[in-house]
Amino acid sequence: MDKLVINRRRFLQGAAASLALATKSKSAAGFIVPDKKYRVGLIGTGWYGKSDLFRLIQVAPVEVVALCDVDKNMLTTAATLVSQRQQSRKTPLLYQDYRKMLAENHLDIVLIGTPDHWHALTAIDAIKAGAHVYVQKPISVDVMEGEAMVAAARKYNKVVQVGTQRKSTPHLIDAKKNIVDTGLLGKVSHVEMCCYYHMRNNGNPSVQPVPDFFDYEMWTGPAPLRPYDGLPHVRWWRTFMEYGNGIMGDMCIHMFDTVRWMLQLGWPKRISSTGGIYVQKEGRSNIADTQSALFEYDDLNCVWQHRSWGTPADPDYPWSFKLYGEKGTLEASTMRYDFIPEGKGDKIHRDVIYEKEKYPEDLAEKDIELNAAPATRLHMLNFLDAIERKGRPVADIAEGHISTASCILANISMKVGRPVVYDPVKHIVVGDAEATALLQRPYRQPWQHPHPDNV
């Protein structure tokens, strides 16, 4: 198949991104994308589902043929926007049941932007239907879902890219390449990660009738069926453990995944965590408003802390990670990084890269994260490149599973009140039957929990 090398000026800005691409491709010009139009479907047309899809449309000649969402209003709005954005100007076919969408369309790529409790089933079914998958983080709500997703990707030989796009963030690529990999930090033996955003929705809305345009039964799927108290979109569902893993699963995974990538870390040797609802007790939210976690490696501790109240420990880095080395410190976030050497030496500072002039349509997009758009574009290019080369993407499903599962295991540790040691071969928490039982959540009938042995 003839292949088109994407022009560097179209998709890159700055030397950092150029250097990053050179390491991923034999071509000095950048990633390789297909010369055919991949047929694309999106499951979950809310905030980040649309955002991911629009970034893909910007960097590749794809044809979005189908969209799926249980909210008819959200679905039709997304269809209009997609018809305006894609080259063909065609309106995609619309579905409320993703299984019907997969059965009726041959899709090369499926993007998954659902709430967390739907990631595993939709991803595995899309893989079985023959599609490569881009799935948002965290990949799963329990550890065994993640094991099954990895098994499915390998069994059916499909590329699965996880939306941990910090690995494709230009200034963080620069930090890894020019600070960490060159040895400026020296030996790193302590890492601090944090999130101090006030992002824990905690209201007390009344129970109400389900609107005609919203299929609440299907939205809930395998999760427990809570009394309907309003549309769960964006922030409301994230405040309940029924659908995710709290701020630990939502925000720690990004920072921990980035630290693992920078320092080339695998599974932690031991994980422990404490926390709970210490301050914000007045609402329905059941996720921790305060939590600390420790991910242990040989001669290295990675510490996480979040609070959804109070002030950040460092106002410049409210959601961030800091690598402490014997020769210096690297502070980094989605917005910047700073290298501070020990003793004499030059400090190094880099800011996030925006592409507002190259992609002016970004400025008119509702709810877009402008700082994340360049990273997501590079992430999509890496995804396509892996498909073309029949290789593994930078955020391969196996790496996304380690980062996701580690955060879930931290929550398990907090629940049982003791450290946990996970065996990824035997799929058990070593010497702890109670914690092992928590590796798999019960599914609501008739949904069946996937297992790595029978995907």
Q: Delineate the domains of the chain, giving CATH numbers in brackets.
A: 3-167+369-397 (3.40.50.720), 170-203+216-361+401-437 (3.30.360.10)
For residue 35, the model assigns a pLDDT of: 82
Whole-number Å distance between alpha carbons of 223 and 71:
17
Whole-number Å distance between alpha carbons of 268 and 192:
15
Residue 192 has pLDDT above 80, yes or no: yes
For residue 269, the model assigns a pLDDT of: 98
User: Which helix H or strand E contains 406, and what residues bound it?
Assistant: helix 397-416
In terms of C-beta density within 10 A (0-12 exposed, 13-18 middle, 19 or more buried), how is residue 429 classed?
A: buried
- Label the pairing between strands 132-135 and 109-112: parallel
State the average pLDDT over residues 125-130: 98
Which spans in 69-197 are helix H? 72-85, 98-104, 119-128, 143-155, 170-175
State the average pLDDT over residues 37-46: 97
For residue 34, the model assigns a pLDDT of: 81
Q: Read off the pLDDT band of 344 (50, 70, 90).
A: confident
Whole-number Å distance between alpha carbons of 276 and 287:
7
Residue 136 has pLDDT above 50, yes or no: yes
Q: Rounded to the nearest 10 degrees, what angle do helices 253-263 and 397-416 cross at?
A: 120
Whole-number Å distance between alpha carbons of 402 and 46:
26
For residue 16, the model assigns a pLDDT of: 36
In 10 A of CB 141, how many CB atoms? 24
Question: Which token pair is 368?
Answer: 């877009």
In 10 A of CB 295, how many CB atoms? 27
Question: Which token pair is 323?
Answer: 């690598």
Residue 253 has pLDDT above 80, yes or no: yes
For residue 268, the model assigns a pLDDT of: 98
Residue 20 has pLDDT above 60, yes or no: no
Residue 17 has pLDDT above 70, yes or no: no
Residues near 284 by Cβ (< 8 Å), separated by ≥ 6?
Answer: 202, 203, 204, 229, 239, 240
Cβ contact 343:199 at 8 Å: no
Regarding pTM above 0.95, the answer is: no
Q: Residues of the chain with pLDDT > 70: what percent?
A: 94
Average per-residue pLDDT in the chain? 93
State the average pLDDT over residues 118-133: 98
